[in-house]
């Protein structure tokens, strides 16, 4: 009986292997040559799907409005939103849908996710949609946004969606009481953090991220590293996680922790602590403004500023995602998807989207239509100005793993008291191995 | 005296004497029926379902483990042979052995702690009455709740700055803990949650076992002058050995496969301190998209679980034969 069972299993495995056809390349992961012709907006009824995570708070109505506006202009095109509660769930679903041959037409992606999808020949290059790798709309985007759309082959595979940078939220009343002012440099920030950390208050609480994904604490470390002159990664994704700048940045974090001015947590801990009057600062996405405001209510005067500067000047990192069009869409769906992506990144829609969602407009052409919003939210001017210079990590799929190693190193230093150089050496070795494995 | 008690136990709890040949004939009849066409026909639906959802995926997982698997496009996969298995011992973040150790740590704590606590609770609650019956329900309720939902609540209970756990410790002037934020305390925190969630079920199992025990042996032991501890150790628990074996086996297997609480409470961290083998399978295969390596880990987890099952079967056979 046992022999029979084993035989059945072996036959099943072999039959599946035959189905899988492993080892015989059948897909393409290279961009097709530009046709020179942009896909025309279809005139017959078309339905496209969009896998997205704009499902909570003010994001959902903002997303719904984009779709409603588009459908009003193109009544023959129906956009079905496939909402997910968070990015991790969305990525898992997108992968499962591609594997099942049932990918959405459009999906939100981080750069490393797009690289992974490209490696499986699952997405469509922009050139196939626009007829060129550099459609005219591209030049209208902020420079940092423009650079964030290409993958390792140098060609554009993504189109911008919900972009942002990190900004500093703080309890202005607490700073005033401690005799501190808005920090302009990271040294100022450390001084202010230590000054307010008394009577049960910890300057800031960060989420360092986990091995399964980065969080704002991970990005703060990356920003500090760049501000201290560190490289982090070469353009080809080669890691430098334990260079002098990275060690200096990690040492900075450790000194704050040792001074009881920094704590770690999860589930937006900085925002929670700020609202509970147990924290003075929170480094978070500009898109988190609505959430921060709701959390603190009338309990304090919420200050907002651009991130402090380091020896290398003002450094910021792009947050948020881009869009890709999946390969298994029909020609009409791809054409409709391209029309949708161009429409929602146009100046008028971006102005409305940015004001309603808190994300930053991807084009400065939206700003003239946002004057009322900017007057009420002065931080917006400083935040959008950083979209020209904000960096993005190289678009390779191992970077996703490496950010997990960065997060683990931060945990090891802040939670276990490990030496920064040792923790980062471990992260560097693991990341270099991940790069080798591809 | 104890020898007498043990002797009584051995003879009184023995199964009714079987008529020689009878059970054997019944087994033979059953075997004969299973080999008929009707036997195959009746069992075919179950076999088909089992094959579809267990045997084939298991074989497929082993197959995938031999490749650098491109889950998006299997045709682009490259054959690695035992390469993924070699990587098990080359990986550093985390090391394979550390995740095995975390699995054993968690399983050991759940088996020992869970069995001891649930047996103690069952002994306390076995007498019945309105209050104790209500306590049984209260004890079982956590097991009826979804792990993912209650884990999210316990994340806040364990919050070192705003959580209930540290508030209680602080109120009692006891040292507080960082719970899920520290490598040293994160696994104990997950174990505390898991015990809270699982003990209700195993307590009910023990209560069921206690309900079937005859009173005569305990009365005889007390007449012979046994203390309460001796009565428990040599009479009650001795008779509960099959139940205990079942609880230990079930707890060991479910603990080895535990995933949700690690996902929701700790995310395998900090610094991989709660990355068990089953969590690592998920992380590698589904988060980091390293499907071939994840499949190799799954095969190892499968082998470990099979090993536990075989040990359980051998132990169960031993415990049953000891009572005959």
Instruction: Taking residues B299-322, report their average pLDDT.
Output: 74
* CA distance, residue B296 to nearest chain A CA (Å): 15
- What whole-number distance in Å separates Cα of residue A42 and Cα of residue A193? 56
> Does A29 have pLDDT greater than 80?
no
Please tell me the distance from the alpha carbon of residue B100 to that of residue B103, in angstroms, as a whole number. Answer: 5
pLDDT digits (tens, 9 = 90+) for B121-147: 999 888 777 788 888 888 899 999 999
Q: Is residue A111 included in any domain, yes or no?
A: yes
* Interchain contact B33–A (C-beta under 8 A): no
Full residue range of the structural domain in which residue A135 is found: 36-163+319-385
- Nearest partner of B297 among B73, B34, B47, B99, judged by Cα: B99
Contacts with B286 from chain A: Cβ below 8 Å: 92, 95
Of B79, B283, B287, the CB nearest to A23: B79
CA dist list (Å): A79 to A45, A49, A67, A69, A92? 11, 6, 7, 11, 21
Say if residues A103 and A133 touch (Cβ distance below 8 Å).
no
Element (H, E) at A82: strand A77-83
Judged by a CB distance cut-off of 8 A, whether residue B283 touches chain A is yes
Residue A24 confidence (pLDDT) above 60: no
In this prediction, residue B225 carries a pLDDT of: 87
The predicted pLDDT at position A34 comes to: 61
* Nearest-10 crossing angle of helices B241-256, B183-211: 150
Instruction: For residue A1, tell me if it sits in a domain.
Output: no
B12 pLDDT more than 80: no
Interface with chain B: mutation pick from A7, A12, A269, A430, highest number of B CBs within 10 Å: A12
pLDDT in the model for residue A32: 54
Q: How far apart are CA A289 and CA A357, in angstroms?
A: 9
User: Closest by alpha carbon to A340, among A45, A139, A70?
Assistant: A70
Residue A266: Cβ-neighbour burial (10 angstroms; 0-12, 13-18, 19+): buried
Same domain, A403 and A375: no
Contact B59 A12 (CB under 8 A): yes
Same domain for A303 and A418, yes or no, is yes
Residues from chain B that touch A415, judged by Cβ atoms under 8 A, are 178, 181-183, 270-271
Tokens of A126: 């922009």
Q: How high is the pLDDT of residue A103?
A: 96
**Among A22-36, A168-182, B89-103, B251-265, whose mean pLDDT is lowest?**
A22-36
Q: Out of B73, B268, B286, name the one closest to residue A210 (CB).
A: B268
Is residue A281 located within the same domain as residue A151?
A: no
Tell me what the mean pLDDT of segment A186-199 comes to: 95
Task: Clarify whether residues A222 and A279 are in a common domain.
Answer: yes
- In the predicted structure, residue B3 carries a pLDDT above the cut 80: no
The highest-level CATH class for domain B91-323 is mainly alpha
pLDDT for the residue numbered B319: 53
Of all residues in chain B, the one with the smallest CA distance to A112 is B288
CA distance B62 to B85: 11
Residues of B with Cβ-Cβ distance to A264 under 8 angstroms: 181, 270
Residue A250 confidence (pLDDT) above 90: yes
Percent of chain B topping pLDDT 70: 87
Chain A hits for B271, Cβ within 8 Å: 408, 411-412, 415-416
Whether A415 sits inside 8 A of B271 (CB atoms) is: yes
pLDDT-derived band at A33 (thresholds 50, 70, 90) equals low
Q: Given this model, what pLDDT does residue B280 score?
A: 93
Pick A23's closest partner by Cβ from B56, B77, B288. Answer: B77
Indicate the SS3 state at residue A77.
strand
Please give, one letter per residue, the 3-state secondary structure of chain B.
Answer: CHHHHHHHHHHHCCCCCCCCCHHHHHHHHHHHHHCCHHHHHHHHHHHHHHHHHHHHHHHHHHHHCCEECCCCCHHHCEECCCHHHHHHHHCCCCCHHHHHHHHHHHHHHHHHHHHHHHHHHHHHHCCCCHHHHHHHHHHHHHHHCCHHHHHHHHHHHCCCCCCHHHHHHHHCCCCCCCHHHCHHHHHHHHHHHHHHHHHHHHHHHHHHHHHCCCHHHHHHHHHCCCCHHHHHHHHHHHHCHHHHHHHHHHHHHHHHCCCHHHHHHHCCCCCCCCCCHHHHHHHHHHHCCCHHHHHHHHHHHHHHHHHHHHHHHHHHHHHHHHHC
Pick the closest to residue B39 from B50, B29, B52, B26 (CA basis). Answer: B29
Give the residue from A304, A324, A282, A314 showing the smallest Cα distance to A391. A314
**DSSP state, residue A303:** E
Report d(CA B253, CA A60) in Å as an integer. Answer: 42
B272 touches chain A (CB under 8 A): yes
Assess whether pLDDT exceeds 70 at residue B320.
Answer: no
User: Closest Cα partner for A124 from A50, A24, A28, A41?
Assistant: A28
pLDDT of residue A192: 96
pLDDT at B18 over 80: no
| Sequence-distant contacts of A186-191: CB under 8 A, at least 24 apart | A186/A224, A186/A227, A186/A252, A186/A308, A186/A309, A186/A310, A188/A308, A189/A281, A189/A308, A190/A252, A190/A255, A190/A256, A190/A261
| Subunit contact A9:B59, Cβ cutoff 8 A | yes
Mean pLDDT estimate for chain A: 89
Answer yes or no: is pLDDT of B33 > 60: yes
As a whole number of angstroms, the distance between CA A428 and CA A416 comes to: 18
User: How distant is the Cα of B73 from the closest Cα of chain A, in angstroms?
Assistant: 5
pLDDT(A241) > 90? yes
**A405 contacts on B by Cβ (under 8 Å):** 93
Residue A191 and residue A319 in contact, taking contact as beta carbons nearer than 8 Å: no
Give the closest of B59, B70, B90 to A13, CB-based.
B59
Closest among B104, B280, B273 to B186, alpha carbons compared:
B273
Q: Nearest C-alpha of chain A: how many angstroms from B22?
A: 24
Residue A15: pLDDT above 60? no
Q: For residue B27, what pLDDT band results from cuts at 50, 70 and 90?
A: low
- CATH code for position A288: 3.40.190.10
Q: Are residues A71 and A201 in the same domain?
A: no
The pLDDT tens digits of the residues spanning B241-286 come to 989 988 998 899 899 889 999 999 998 989 999 999 999 999 999 8
* Percent of chain A residues past pLDDT 70, beyond the cut: 92
Over 70: is that where the pLDDT of B55 sits?
yes
pLDDT at A79: 97
Residue B22 has pLDDT above 70, yes or no: no
Chain A residues lying within 8 Å of B72, measured CB to CB: 95, 98-99, 116-117, 119-122
The Cα of A400 is separated from the nearest Cα of chain B by a number of Å equal to 7
Q: How far is A294 from chain B (nearest CA, A)?
A: 19
Radius of gyration of chain A from its Cα atoms, rounded to whole angstroms: 23
The C-alpha angle A17, A18, A24, rounded to 5 degrees, equals 90
* pLDDT confidence band for B30 (50 / 70 / 90): low
Predicted confidence (pLDDT) at residue A314 exceeds the cutoff of 50:
yes
Contact B286 A92 (CB under 8 A): yes
**Contact across the interface for A415 and B63, Cβ inside 8 Å:** no
Count Cα neighbours of B209 within 13 Å in the Cβ-side half-sphere: 22
Residues A235, A311 contacting (CB under 8 angstroms): no
Identify the pLDDT of residue B81.
93
Does the pLDDT at position B4 exceed 70? no
User: How many angstroms separate the CA atoms of A152 and A160, rounded?
Assistant: 17
Total CB pairs under 8 A between chain A and B: 151
Note whether A265 contacts B272, CB cutoff 8 Å: no
pLDDT at B292: 94
Angle separating helix axes A186-196 and A244-258, nearest 10 degrees: 20
Q: Is the pLDDT of residue B1 over 70?
A: no
Minimum-distance CB partner of B183 among A21, A24, A415:
A415
Same-domain check for residues A299 and A420: yes
Domain count, chain A: 2
Residues of A in contact with B267 (CB under 8 A): 210-212, 266
pLDDT number for residue A26? 39
Q: What tens digit of pLDDT does each residue of A50-80 get?
A: 999 999 888 999 999 999 999 999 999 999 9
Minimum mean pLDDT range among A346-350, B254-258, B314-318? B314-318
| Pick among A102, A113, A210 to test the B interface (most B CBs inside 10 A) | A210
Asked if B93 and A430 come within 8 Å (Cβ–Cβ), the reply is yes
A285 forms beta bridges with A166
Residue partners of A41: CB distance under 8 A and separation at least 6:
A74, A77, A335, A336, A339
Kindly tell me if the per-residue pLDDT of B312 is higher than 80.
Answer: no
Work out the average pLDDT over A220-237. Answer: 94
Contacts of B161 in chain A (CB under 8 A): 202, 205, 263, 265, 269, 273, 278
Shared domain check, A172 and A75: no
Beta strand pairing call for A318-326 and A159-171 = antiparallel
Per-residue pLDDT of B185-205, as tens digits, reads 999 999 999 999 999 999 999
The torsion angles phi and psi of B7, rounded to 5 degrees, stand at: -65, -40
Q: List the 83-102 stretch of B: residues with Cβ below 8 A of A.
A: 90, 92-94
- CA A401 and chain centroid, separation: 15
Q: A416 to chain B, minimum CA–CA distance in Å?
A: 7
Residues in A touching B155 (Cβ below 8 Å): 266-267
Q: Do the Cβ atoms of B56 and A16 come within 8 Å?
A: yes
Domains of chain B, by residue range, sit at 91-323
Distance from CA of B206 to the nearest CA of A (A): 34
- Report whether pLDDT(A6) > 80: no
- pLDDT score of A18 more than 90: no
Q: Which residues of B touch A426 (CB under 8 A)?
A: 92-93
Examine the pLDDT at B36 and tell me if it is beyond 90. no
Q: Are residues A311 and A198 in the same domain?
A: yes
B35 near A CB under 8 A: no
Q: Is residue A4 part of a domain?
A: no
Whether the pLDDT of residue B318 is over 80: the answer is no
A181-217 burial, b at 16+ Cβ within 10 Å, e below that, comes to ebbeebeebbebbbbbbeeebbbbbbbbbbbbbbbbb
Which residue in chain A has the smallest CA separation from B283?
A212
HSE of A72 in the Cβ direction (CA atoms, 13 Å)? 8
Residue B162, pLDDT score = 86
ipTM rounded to 2 decimals:
0.80
Residues B70-94 have pLDDT tens digits of 989 898 899 999 999 998 888 777 8
A299 and A328 together in one domain = no
CB contact under 8 A, A119 and B270: no
């Amino acid at each position: 009986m046992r022999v029979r069972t084993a035989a059945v299993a072996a036959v099943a495995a072999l039959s599946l292997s035959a189905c899988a056809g492993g080892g015989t390349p059948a897909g393409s992961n290279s961009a097709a040559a530009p046709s020179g012709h942009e896909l025309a907006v279809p005139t017959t009824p078309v339905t496209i799907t969009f896998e997205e995570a704009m499902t909570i708070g003010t994001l959902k109505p903002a997303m719904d409005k984009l779709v409603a506006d588009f459908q009003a202009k193109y009544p023959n095109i129906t956009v079905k939103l496939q909402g997910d509660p968070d990015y991790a769930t969305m990525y898992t679903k997108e992968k499962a849908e591609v594997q099942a041959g049932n990918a959405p037409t459009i999906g939100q992606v981080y750069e490393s996710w797009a690289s992974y999808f490209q490696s499986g020949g699952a997405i469509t290059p922009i050139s196939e949609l626009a007829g060129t790798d550099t459609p005219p709309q591209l030049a209208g985007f902020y420079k940092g946004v423009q650079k964030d759309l290409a993958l390792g082959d140098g060609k554009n595979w993504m189109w911008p969606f919900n972009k942002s940078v990190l900004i500093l939220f703080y309890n202005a009343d607490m700073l005033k009481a401690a005799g501190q002012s808005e920090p302009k440099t990271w040294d100022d920030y450390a001084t202010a953090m230590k000054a307010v950390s008394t009577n049960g208050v910890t300057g800031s609480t960060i989420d360092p991220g986990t091995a399964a994904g980065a969080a704002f604490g991970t990005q703060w470390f990356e920003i500090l590293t760049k501000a201290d002159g560190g490289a982090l990664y070469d353009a080809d994704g080669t890691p430098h996680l334990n260079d002098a700048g990275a060690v200096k940045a990690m040492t900075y974090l450790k000194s704050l922790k040792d001074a009881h001015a920094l704590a770690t947590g999860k589930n937006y801990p900085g925002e929670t602590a700020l609202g509970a009057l147990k924290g003075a600062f929170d480094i978070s996405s500009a898109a988190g403004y609505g959430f921060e405001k709701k959390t603190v209510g009338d309990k304090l005067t919420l200050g907002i500023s651009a991130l402090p500067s380091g020896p290398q000047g003002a450094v910021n990192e792009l947050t948020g995602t881009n869009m890709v069009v999946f390969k298994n869409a029909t020609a009409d769906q791809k054409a409709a998807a391209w029309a949708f992506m161009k429409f929602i990144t146009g100046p008028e829609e971006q102005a409305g989207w940015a004001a309603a969602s808190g994300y930053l407009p991807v084009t400065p052409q939206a700003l003239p239509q946002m004057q009322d919003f900017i007057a009420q939210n002065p931080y917006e001017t400083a935040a959008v100005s950083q979209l020209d210079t904000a960096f993005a990590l190289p678009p390779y799929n191992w970077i996703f793993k490496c950010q997990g190693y960065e997060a683990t190193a931060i945990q090891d230093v802040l939670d276990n008291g490990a030496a920064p150089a040792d923790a980062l050496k471990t992260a560097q070795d693991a990341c270099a191995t991940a790069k080798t494995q591809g | 005296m104890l020898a007498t008690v043990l002797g009584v136990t051995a003879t009184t709890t023995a199964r009714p004497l079987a008529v020689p040949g009878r059970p054997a004939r019944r087994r033979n009849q059953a075997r004969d029926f299973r080999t008929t066409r009707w036997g195959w026909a009746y069992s075919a639906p179950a076999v088909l379902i089992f094959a579809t959802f267990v045997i084939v995926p298991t074989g497929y997982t082993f197959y995938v483990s031999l490749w650098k698997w491109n889950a998006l496009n299997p045709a682009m996969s490259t054959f690695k042979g035992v390469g993924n298995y070699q990587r098990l011992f080359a990986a550093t973040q985390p090391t394979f052995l550390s995740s095995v150790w975390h699995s054993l740590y968690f399983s050991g704590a759940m088996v020992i702690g869970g069995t001891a606590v649930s047996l103690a609770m069952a002994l306390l609650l076995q007498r019945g009455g309105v209050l104790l019956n209500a306590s049984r329900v209260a004890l079982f309720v956590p097991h009826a709740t979804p792990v993912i939902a209650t884990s999210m609540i316990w994340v806040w209970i364990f919050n070192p700055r705003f959580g209930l756990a540290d508030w209680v410790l602080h109120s009692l002037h006891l040292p507080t803990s960082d719970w899920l934020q520290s490598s040293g305390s994160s696994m104990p925190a997950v174990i505390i949650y898991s015990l809270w969630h699982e003990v209700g079920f195993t307590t009910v199992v023990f209560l069921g076992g206690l309900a079937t025990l005859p009173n005569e042996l305990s009365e005889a032991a007390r007449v012979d002058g046994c203390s309460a501890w001796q009565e428990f150790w040599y009479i009650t628990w001795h008779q509960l050995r099959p139940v205990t074996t079942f609880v230990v086996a079930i707890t060991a297997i479910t603990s080895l496969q535990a995933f949700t609480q690690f996902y929701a409470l700790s995310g395998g961290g900090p610094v991989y301190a709660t990355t068990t083998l089953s969590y690592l399978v998920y992380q590698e295969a589904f988060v980091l998209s390293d499907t071939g390596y994840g499949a190799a880990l799954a095969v190892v987890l499968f082998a470990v679980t099979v090993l536990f099952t075989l040990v359980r079967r051998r132990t169960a056979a031993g415990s049953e034969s000891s009572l005959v």
